[in-house]
Amino acid sequence: MAKVVLVGSPNVGKSVIFNYLTGQYVAVSNYPGTTVDISRGYSKINGKVYEFIDTPGMYSLIPITEEERVSRMLLCQEKPDIVLHVIDAKNIRRMLHLTLQLIDMGFPVILVVNLIDEAKKNGIYLKLECLSEILGIPVIATIATKGLGLGKIKEEVQEYSCGKPRFSLLFSPNIEQAIHSISAKIKGEYGLSRRMTALLLIQGDKILYALANHKERAFPEILAEVNKLNSYYQYDMEYVLAVERQRAIDRICDSVLEERKIYSRGVGETLSRLTREPATGIPILCLVIFFGIYQFVGKFGAGFLVEYLDLNLFVPYINPLMEYYVYQYMPWDWLQSLIMGKYGFFTLGFRYAFIIILPIVSTFFFMFAILEDSGYLPRLAMLMDFIFKKIGLNGRAVIPFALGLGCGTMAVMVRSKR
């Protein structure tokens, strides 16, 4: 069965596409890091069954987060027949880094340029045939949320014959020289092309170092080559390679980015900027906490609704009805106290769940859904990033941190889900 893996940066629409291709449902949200583990699904295209695999978002092949490690391991171990690299059309300059790395890894890549609608809103138009021509791989434009272009992915998947991509990025001569001599010394199997294995070793990839140390007899010589190359440069090799790759990407983008009209900022864009910048973002955060959480969840949900349900529903109707039926038809004292006693099933269980927990949880999730779907949470994460960086975390930690003030279990659950 042919295996198709969806990879790409966080929040580019991989899971929306996966859901369409397989008819399954995996969580989709506008918060990066929604998918934290791999999901598998199957789809029949023209009578042939394909296995599709959704992966957690990854920015680069050199993993920093646990999610990136999962995706990288999957790519190396599962030997996919096709890799669907899903990218955000708005940020093509940043996104093509991974495309070039995937090509260097030796994978048959199909490039899915998603969020075309958002790119257009930002005045970004792309000549995708030209991009496909330069890279020598199929390039498909999609708007996943509207289902546009997704049928084309199925067509390309079944038609894709793994030819050699036309584009091959050549680094500076001394780097190419080091890649050449390290590749020649590599004898082990790592699920990557030799070139990519050498490139990762040059960049000091820890996972590969540990494996190569174990597998390669010539590891000391490989290490000597890496150190020699490092000594030519002032910066670490990951940075040097990224800069060289970026130059190549900029050249590609010069012929692919059709026009870049700067429209006057819409209301959405202005709001987005205001929520991200500390001078305005922190007062907005205070307003969200005061009105959204304190007034709406605290005063309205936990105060007004709780009291309203108790005084207008339970006290006049449900309590007397329950008392009547229980005392009338249940003659046993123990059963009466089990249901209606001070700590009874009705008194403490049902009544508390209905009049206390339900209004609080409903108003909280209602408010949370608004914050999530409006796109406020990723902006809050960006706003908080500079504070959290000081304690070795990033802005995304704001959610489990805030939840942890109320309930440790929730915080741990959210952390492990995102």
Ligand X SMILES: Nc1nc2c(ncn2[C@@H]2O[C@H](COP(=O)(O)OP(=O)(O)OP(=O)(O)O)[C@@H](O)[C@H]2O)c(=O)[nH]1
Q: Which residues bind ligand X (CB under 6 A)?
A: 8, 10-16, 28-30, 32-35, 56-57, 114-115, 117-118, 143-145
The phi and psi torsions of 176 (rounded to 5 degrees) equal -60, -40
Binding mask 37-76 for Mg ion (x = CB under 5 A): ----------------------------------------
Q: How far is the CB of 96 from ligand X (least distance, A)?
A: 16
Beta carbon nearer to ligand X, 120 or 194: 120
Binding of residue 142 to Mg ion (CB under 5 A): no
Beta carbon nearer to ligand X, 17 or 309: 17
Q: How far is the CB of 84 from ligand X (least distance, A)?
A: 11
Residue 359 binds which one of Mg ion, ligand X, none, with CB within 5 to 8 A depending on kind?
none
Q: How far is the CB of 29 from Mg ion (least distance, A)?
A: 8
For the chain, what is the total number of helices (H) and then of strands (E)? 21, 8
User: Which of 361, 334, 338, 333 minimizes the C-alpha distance to 349?
Assistant: 338
Q: Please give the helix or strand (H or E) that residue 372 lies within, else none.
A: helix 358-373
Residue 128 binds which one of Mg ion, ligand X, none, with CB within 5 to 8 A depending on kind?
none
Residue 29 binds which one of Mg ion, ligand X, none, with CB within 5 to 8 A depending on kind?
ligand X
Residue holding tokens 């000549």?
127
Beta carbon nearer to ligand X, 92 or 115: 115
Q: How far is the CB of 113 from Mg ion (least distance, A)?
A: 17
Beta carbon nearer to ligand X, 145 or 183: 145
Q: How far is the CB of 12 from ligand X (least distance, A)?
A: 4
Beta carbon nearer to ligand X, 12 or 309: 12
C-alpha span between 22 and 40 (Å, rounded): 9
Among 9, 35, 101, 142, binds Mg ion (CB under 5 A): 35
Beta carbon nearer to Mg ion, 36 or 302: 36
Burial (CB < 10 A; 0-12, 13-18, 19+), residue 390, is exposed
Q: Which two tokens stand for residue 285?
A: 């955060």
Q: Which two tokens stand for residue 290?
A: 């005061």
Q: Which residues contact 129 (CB under 8 A, 6 or more apart)?
A: 139
Binding of residue 363 to Mg ion (CB under 5 A): no
DSSP code string of 208-266: HHHHHHHH-TTHHHHHHHHHHHHHH-SS-HHHHHHHHHHHHHHHHHHHHEEEE--PPP-
The phi and psi torsions of 25 (rounded to 5 degrees) equal -125, 115
Residue 143 binds which one of ligand X, Mg ion, none, with CB within 5 to 8 A depending on kind?
ligand X
C-alpha span between 46 and 243 (Å, rounded): 43
Beta carbon nearer to Mg ion, 245 or 415: 415
C-alpha span between 99 and 200 (Å, rounded): 15
C-alpha span between 206 and 289 (Å, rounded): 42
The phi and psi torsions of 66 (rounded to 5 degrees) equal -65, -35
Q: How far is the CB of 37 from Mg ion (least distance, A)?
A: 10
Beta carbon nearer to ligand X, 33 or 404: 33
C-alpha span between 241 and 117 (Å, rounded): 32
Q: How far is the CB of 7 from ligand X (least distance, A)?
A: 9
Q: How far is the CB of 6 from Mg ion (least distance, A)?
A: 9
Binding of residue 275 to Mg ion (CB under 5 A): no
Binding mask 7-26 for Mg ion (x = CB under 5 A): --------x-----------
By the criterion CB under 5 A, which residues form the site for Mg ion? 15, 34-35
